[in-house]
């Protein structure tokens, strides 16, 4: 508070940015919340562990920014991003995930996210990504930026990109479920498709990844999930 003669002048309060964290791991949510609490202008006003809860919480608190993981409890973060981005007065969305950025970053941007950062990055990078998105920019790692440009221009992907990145979103979802050991009927139920459609997707996956049998799909998918550090 300052003074001009005998007149008191109130300093305008600092603008606070509100955030919601959507992640199926309570410890991860707590860690990110603690990190943001140290920033005076960032306020976590809600948390959720799955798609349905996220929609409910976000509708109630109307945050400025939503941090979304891709692996959610009984749901898929990519579908949540799509739904949020289509809403009127949609919040900004930043994907914070353990999933391979070469496989998922461009998919998330196409779905409506404004940035993608892997959880393995340090706290300074996560804050940098948040600030970048809040400023109206798009955040990607430098390596992923080059890969995204190549993707859009039709050039060869950056070295290090997984062959799995060639799969469509639905094929990738099915690939992950296969790696988790789900059978055809279970995959069909989770994805709300017919067993026949599951078989068609599997056929496309075999062709794109150079595989011959369903057993090979399972082994490659299992290894990919394990090597990506994802919970199986």
Residue 81 is predicted with a pLDDT of 96
Q: Are 36 and 44 in contact (CB under 8 A)?
A: yes
Residue 180 is predicted with a pLDDT of 86
The whole model's pTM is what? Answer: 0.73
Sign of CA dihedral 8, 14, 15, 19: negative
Last residue of a domain, one of 130, 152, 174: 152
Residue 11 is predicted with a pLDDT of 55
Residue 176 is predicted with a pLDDT of 87
Q: Name the domain count of the chain.
A: 2
Same domain, 143 and 191: no
Q: Provide the residue range defining the domain that includes 205.
A: 163-227
Which residues have C-beta within 8 Å of that of residue 64, sequence separation ≥ 6? 17, 18, 19, 91, 92, 134
What are the distances in angstroms from CA 18 to CA 22, 66, 89, 127?
14, 9, 14, 14
Same domain, 124 and 209: no
Residue spans of the chain under pLDDT 50: 1-4, 155, 232
Residue 56 is predicted with a pLDDT of 95
Residue 4 is predicted with a pLDDT of 47
Which residues have C-beta within 8 Å of that of residue 193, sequence separation ≥ 6? none
CATH of the domain at 174: 1.10.10.10
Whether 169 is covered by a domain: the verdict is yes
Q: Are 80 and 54 in contact (CB under 8 A)?
A: yes
Residue 32 is predicted with a pLDDT of 93
Per-residue three-class SS string for 144-175? HHHHHHHHHHCCCCCCCCCHHHHCCHHHHHHH
């Amino acid at each position: 508070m300052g003074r001009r003669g005998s007149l008191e002048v109130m300093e305008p309060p600092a603008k606070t940015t509100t955030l919601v964290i959507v992640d199926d791991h309570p410890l991860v949510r707590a860690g990110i919340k603690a990190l943001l609490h140290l920033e005076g202008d960032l306020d976590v006003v809600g948390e959720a562990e799955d798609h349905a809860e996220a929609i409910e919480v976000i509708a109630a608190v109307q945050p400025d920014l939503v941090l979304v993981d891709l692996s959610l409890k009984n749901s898929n973060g990519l579908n949540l991003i799509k739904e949020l981005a289509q809403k009127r007065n949609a919040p900004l969305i930043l994907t914070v995930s353990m999933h391979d950025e070469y496989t998922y970053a461009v998919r998330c941007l196409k779905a409506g996210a404004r940035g993608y950062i892997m959880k393995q990055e340090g706290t300074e990078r996560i804050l940098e990504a948040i600030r970048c998105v809040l400023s109206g920019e798009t955040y990607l790692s430098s390596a992923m930026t080059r890969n995204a440009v190549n993707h859009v221009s039709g050039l060869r992907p950056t070295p290090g990109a997984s062959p799995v990145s060639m799969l469509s979103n639905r094929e990738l979802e099915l690939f992950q479920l296969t790696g988790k050991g789900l059978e055809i009927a279970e995959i069909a139920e989770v994805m709300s498709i017919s067993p026949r459609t599951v078989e068609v997707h599997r056929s496309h996956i075999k062709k794109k990844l150079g595989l011959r049998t369903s057993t090979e799909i399972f082994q490659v998918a299992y290894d990919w999930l394990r090597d990506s550090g994802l919970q199986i």
